[in-house]
Amino acid sequence: MIKGVRKITVFAPNENGGIDVVAKYGKGKGKGKGRRRRSRMLKVPERNMRKVNEAARAFIDELDTRHERSTRKKKDGWLRDSPKNVMKANRKALKKLQKMRIF
């Protein structure tokens, strides 16, 4: 959807001479839609928790990818490459955490 456009509604005439709503796209300004409910004090800690989760997900995905690559490369290659794979996956996860704000 185009930036700044919140909602698109398409109308079509019906057989009674009235107008029907054919399609709706996007969210309206209805109660509870669009805005997450949270207290101001917990806004930054919640964002930090999301960053930690994102970093953990990046670590697991990268480690799994490298493990598979090492397994295909050599016999017992995953065991030989394990320390290097963990360090590289950890580096990728730490890059995600660098964007975290304390206050």
Give pLDDT tens digits for 22-49.
777 776 555 555 667 888 888 888 888 9
Tokens of 53: 């989760």
Burial grade of 85 (CB within 10 A; 0-12, 13-18, 19 or more): buried
pTM of the model: 0.61
pLDDT tens digits, one per residue of 71-102: 999 999 999 999 999 999 999 999 988 877 77
